[in-house]
Each structure stands twice: as structure tokens, then as C-alpha cells.
Amino acid sequence: MPDVPPDAARRHAQLLTEIREHDYRYYVLDDPVIDDGAYDGLYRELVELERGHPELAIPESPTQRVGAEPRSPFKMVKHAAPMLSLDNTYNQGELQEFVRRVQAGLPAQAKPRFCVEPKLDGSSIEVVYREGRMVEGSTRGDGVTGEEITVNLRTIRSLPATIAEHRPLTLRAEVVIYRRDLERINVERSEAGAAPFANPRNAAAGSLRMLDPRVVAKRPLRAVVWQVVEGPELAPTHSESLARLRELGLPTHRLERVCDDVAEVFSAIADIQEKRKDFAYEIDGAVVKVDNFAHQEILGATAKFPRWAIAYKFGAERAATRVLDIVVGVGRTGALTPVASLDPVELAGTTVSRASLHNAAIVEHLDVRVGDLVSIEKAGEIIPQVVSVDTSARSGKEPSFVMPVTCPVCRTPVERSAEEVVVRCPNPLCPAVVRGSIFHFSRRFAMDIDHLGEALIEQLVDRGMLRDVADLYDLNAEELQKLDRMGTKSAQNVIASIQSSRARTFDRLVTGLGIPQIGQVAARQLAERAGSLEALLEWKSEDIDEELSAISGFGPKMIESVKSFLLEPAHRELLTKLRELRVSVPTRAPHTAEHGPAAGKSFCVTGVLARPREQIHAEIRAAGGQIHDKVRKDTTYLVTGEKVGKSKLDAAKKLGVRLLDEAELAKLLQGG
């Protein structure tokens, strides 16, 4: 890197090492040694340094984990060796039979040992390291070929971008989401009006296959390596290879136990089963593997399974209980959600007293009634589900459940649209909707207002002190002190938090508005497009479509949703009030240098490129160039990667925009 001053390069290398170490401690060992503030400080320093010297933003930098630009559909890649399935068993007899078969398949003097470990319930991937760098990652696919998802895997912080082993290494791992993380995502999703994920496995699998790595980066994915496929010279046995991977900073489950005989195998499995509820992630069984790689080789595989491994499945955990009541709640979006309140019962280590019934369609399908004996399950699901009703246990007096026709909170007649299974309260002033929207507005990922909990919001809404989020900024400490359990100090704290939230950037305000279809990433893009609340309010209704379609990744549904939000008079009034209260500061789009080889030129970058698109954009801006999302008549160059869409090429031809490939761009940016 010729143009980077040596002290900047040195500090950069130092920061990379330090941040990687902290990531490892946090994401792999779950044992951080510095607090979030100190970590953020290092990270910010790195971002600043790379902003000043874009050449430093190499793919291995932690800053690149925020995800590259959206990409075209995945390319297929062939796995190093087929990713086979595992033979399954649910009972000890079959397990004994497996151990006997292994012994019979090996030379008489061989004393096979077995490695017992958890079977993680996630989405399996293959990761390839070459010369110490992660170069490729793929999904399982059909076992022979999978989808190439390298850019998505780069966003997973527990997976190191570089390792201190330069020989070729190909690994298999499970991508999982911790239960506690899924709970959080699901709360956010239901608040954004999206369907919650049924279980961590679906959430992980869905996240990995998303086309926009920036969205993937927001998902709390973790990788747990369970096998070395290439590079077994690391160690002669599977258990030792896992230990070696750990030394390299790779994430493993750390739960393997080597067993000498079938009795030890049983006890190791029982141990895992007992600890199951304490694991942060879901498992659906234990895997028993022949430990010695040489023995594995001799045993080989059938077309479907290796002969050296078997899965002992635990099965879903279920319990039977009574439905005491079916209660209907109303969320921020007005959606009515039926919840079964249950006679408390033990299930998978917790006492369960509520189960989600999701929506009217599901209640109708199951025909759950108050008084029913039901079976509830927690097979990966966070919130237990009612899976079946024992109709034979009915007395005949159980009334069928009917969804209310008026909102249980404000009594407004509900609406049920044709394509929606959701029943909604259409009243924007419904106290439940108001409470929900204010709570959403105040959340960490939005306006981040401390000390403003759900109970306090409820009191304020019920007393008519809050009708919308703008009212927050008119509250004062004297008024607050009149509430239950609110002292002078706490009242002042609440007011201080509310007032300091006025300094949040505009994108957080947009997130906090809770526009349907618009999550954090889209909110940021929208905020960058408009710049500030003032500028957004100045958008003329006839320009809205054009502005929104210029945002990459904004499809018709999102555009329609934002448009109808912005055109609704009540929303305009709210935004105007917020502007008068001077809530939020502009969200700045990334900085463009004033001078440089690309000054006065504009670039539209398209296709699949060798490096992350965000990095290319940063380099263009650092050289003084401007970025266009679309080919326009004032675009100077169309920078093309592979698989460029015909429409962009046609537009460039028609408008006389010149084409550049990545290498030509690099030359131009260096002043060539």
C-alpha cells in the first residue's frame, strides 16, 4: 500500500489484531475483557482510519463485516467432498448395533474410540481457508453443490477472516442463532409488522440465503465448526482436530467427549441431553463419531451416510396442559394476536403458562377452545406452540373461540383484509397502538430513550399525557413526578433521556416511526437519500416515487408503504411537529472528497465485482467522484463487474455513458 503513511498502516494492523482478539473473546469464548464502550472506541478509530485511507479497508478488516452491497442470485459451487447426511436413531439398541458394526468393519486389533458431541440444529455450511484467509463459503445445497455465500459468511463475527494456518483447510460448520437473540429479533420483527421466525434454524437458514449482505450483517448469526474435511493432517483424530481449530481461534462447540465403549457413549449422550436446556443454541440430538481419521477412512460411506457416524436424536419436547383462557392482545401495528393462557406446566426446563396462537387462521385451524386439553411443543421454537388439541377430552361445553369483531382495547370495529390472515384495529388513536408505537420509537435500535419503560408509557398514555411520539418532547419533570412511584430524580432522568434523544441521527428517527416494511437498513437508506427531516418534508408528492425508486433494494411494496405513510395527513402533521421540536440531526451520506482524480465525474457501479461494492464506492468518493444508483444522463461511467443486467447496459449505450471494468477504474482512481 504505497500511499498510506507508515504510522497509519502500523496503527491499522494493530487495530485489526486487537479487534480480532476482542471479537474472538466476545463471539467465540463469550468472555469479553473490555466493555462495549471501549470496543466501540477501537472500532470507531478503525473506521476513521479507513475513511482517511480507503486502501486499508481490505476484505479481512472487521469493518467489512457490515456487508457488501446486494448481489445477484447465488452462484453454485461444488463441495470439496459431498456433504452427506447422518444416519439417525432414537434408541439405545440401534446405537449398540452401530458400535458393533463399526467394530466389525475394522481390523480385529483396532480399538475404535468414539467422539460424542451435540448435534446443532442450524444451517450447515462449508468454509474454505487458503493461505490463512477465508476465501469461500457455501451452503449445503443438495450435498454435492451448494450456493456460494462468501460475502454473507464474512458478516459472521465468530468466524475469523484470517487464521495462523497456511495449509489448505476446509471446514464444515453449523450456523446458529442463540435463543436469546432470536427472541429479540422476533420482537423487532413483529413490531416492524413482519412474521416472526418459527425457530432459530429457519432464521439462520433464511438469513444465510439473503441477497443483501447488509441485512445479513444485522442478524446475530454464529458459526460452530463440527468437522474438518480437508486438512486432517492437523491431527490424527477428530477430537484433536477440534482442539487444534480452537487454538487457531475458530469457533467450536467445546463439548466433545471421547469414549472408549458403548457405556461411556450412553453416558456422554445423557450428559448432553441433560445440559441441553442450558445451551445458548438449539440442539436436536448428539452425534457419535469414530474418532480416528484412519478408522473413518477404512469404514467409508454409503451413498447417503458415512459409516463412521450416527445421530442420536432427542425428539421435540412436548407437554400436555389445559387452556385456561384465550386472550387477544393488540400490537403497535394494530394486529390482534390471540394468546392461550395455560395451566402452568414444565417444558424443556422452563415453566410455561402462555402459548402463542399467532392469528385467527391458526386458532380456527386448530379449533382451540377454552377448557381444552392441548399438547404444547418447544421444538426449537422460542414461544411454545399449541400443536394439537385432544378433542376426546372435551366435555362438549367448551365454546368455540371467535376472533372479536371489535378491538378489545378501544372497541373500534376490526378489519380483516382479503389477503391477510391478520385482523387489525384500524384506529390510529387506539391506546394499544399508541403505546406500542411510542415503545417502538424509544427502543435501543431506534431513538434509544433510556428509562422509558413499557409501564411508564402505559401510565402516560392512559392519563392522556402522550398521544404520539412528539408529545414525549413536551413532557416535563413536574408533570412526571405526579405519577405512581416516580421520584424527583427518576423524573429528571426520564426527561433528560428524552431530551438527549433529539440529537439522534435522522435514520434512527425513521426507524422509530415504524413504517411497515421499513426496518433498520431500509430506514438508513431512506434517511441517507433524504438527508434530514426538513428535506424529507420538502419532497413533493410527485417526486416521492422517483426518490424512492432510486434507493437500491427498494421494491414496489416498500415504496408503496413509505409513500402512503408520507402522504397520510396525520403522519405529515406528526413529522412537522417533530421538525418544529428539532428532533434528530441529519444523517450524512458517506463523505465525498473535494479534489482528486475522479472529481467532477460520476459513477454507477453494477454487476458482481471482485471486491465489496461499498469499498469501491468509498474509493470513488475518496478520489472525489460521485455515486449514482442508476445510469442517468449525467453519469460519466458505468463500472461493470460480471453478470451485468441488460437494462443497465442498454441505458448506458442509449445515454452514451462510458463503460469501465474494475481494473480500468482502479487505474483512473490512481490518476492514470
Q: Which of 174/188 has CB closer to ligand IVH?
A: 174
CB closer to ligand IVH out of 232 and 531 = 232
Min dist CB 165 to ligand IVH, Å, is: 21
Residue 287 vs 616, nearer CB to ligand IVH? 287
- DSSP string computed for 395-456: -S-PPPP---SB-TTT-PBPEE-SS-S-EE---TT-HHHHHHHHHHHHSTTTT--TT--HHH
Q: Which residue is nearest to ligand IVH (CB)?
A: 124
| 8 A C-beta contact, residue 319 and residue 298 | no
Q: Which is nearer to ligand IVH, 27 or 226 (CB)?
A: 226
> CA of 107: how far to CAs of 101, 111, 238, 361, in Å?
12, 9, 20, 59
- In whole angstroms, how close is the CB of 71 to ligand IVH at the nearest point? 24
Active site residue 119: yes
Determine the angle formed by the axes of helices 506-513 and 431-442, rounding to 10 degrees: 150
Strand partners, 640: 606, 661
In a 3-state reduction of DSSP, which class is residue 641?
coil
What radius of gyration, in Å, describes the C-alpha atoms of the chain?
A: 28
Query: Minimal distance in Å, beta carbon 387 to ligand IVH?
Result: 23
DSSP string, 331-344: -TT-BEEEEEEEEE
Nearest to 375 by CA among 387, 365, 384: 387
* Residues facing 388 on adjacent strands: 375
Minimal distance, residue 29 CB to ligand IVH, in Å = 19
The pair phi, psi for residue 347, each rounded to 5°, is -150, 125
Q: Which of 75, 78, 111, 119 is catalytic?
A: 119
- Cell numbers describing residue 129: 481457508
- Answer whether 251's CB lies under 8 Å from 223's CB: yes
* Distance between CA atoms of residues 122 and 281, nearest Å: 9
Largest CA distance in the chain: 86
Q: How far is the CB of 26 from ligand IVH (least distance, A)?
A: 23
Helix (H) or strand (E) holding 606: strand 602-606
C-beta separation of 117 from 287 below 8 A: yes
Cβ at position 311, least distance to ligand IVH in Å? 6
Q: Which is nearer to ligand IVH, 189 or 209 (CB)?
A: 209
Q: Which of 103, 81, 99 is nearest to 89 (CA)?
A: 99
C-alpha to C-alpha distance for 186 and 205, rounded to whole angstroms: 15
Nearer to ligand IVH, 207 or 520 (CB): 207
Cα 420 to Cα 362: distance, rounded to the nearest angstrom: 13
* Nearest to ligand IVH of 127, 287 (CB atom): 287
User: Which of residues 304 and 444 has its CB atom nearest to ligand IVH in the complex?
Assistant: 304
Burial-class residue 437 by CB neighbours within 10 Å (0-12, 13-18, 19+). Answer: buried
Is 572 within 8 Å of 566 (Cβ atoms)? Answer: yes
Nearer to ligand IVH, 126 or 468 (CB): 126
Q: Enter the C-alpha cell of residue 489.
A: 430524580
Pairing of strands 336-347, 350-356: antiparallel
Residue 262 CB contacts under 8 Å (≥ 6 apart), including other chains: 95, 96, 99
CB of 285 to ligand IVH, least distance (A): 8
Residue 122 vs 514, nearer CB to ligand IVH: 122
Cβ atoms 329, 386 nearer than 8 A: no
Residue 118 has which C-alpha cell?
451435540
End-to-end CA distance of the chain: 17
**3-state DSSP assignment of residue 617:** helix
The x, y and z cell numbers of residue 177, run together, are 442463532
Residue with cell 474494475: 662
Rank residues 255 and 355 by Cβ distance to ligand IVH and give the closer one.
Answer: 255
Residues that bind ligand IVH (CB under 6 A): 83-86, 117, 119-120, 124, 140, 174, 226-227, 287, 306, 309, 311
- Provide the total of helices (H) and of strands (E) in the chain, helices listed first: 24, 22
Positions marked catalytic: 119
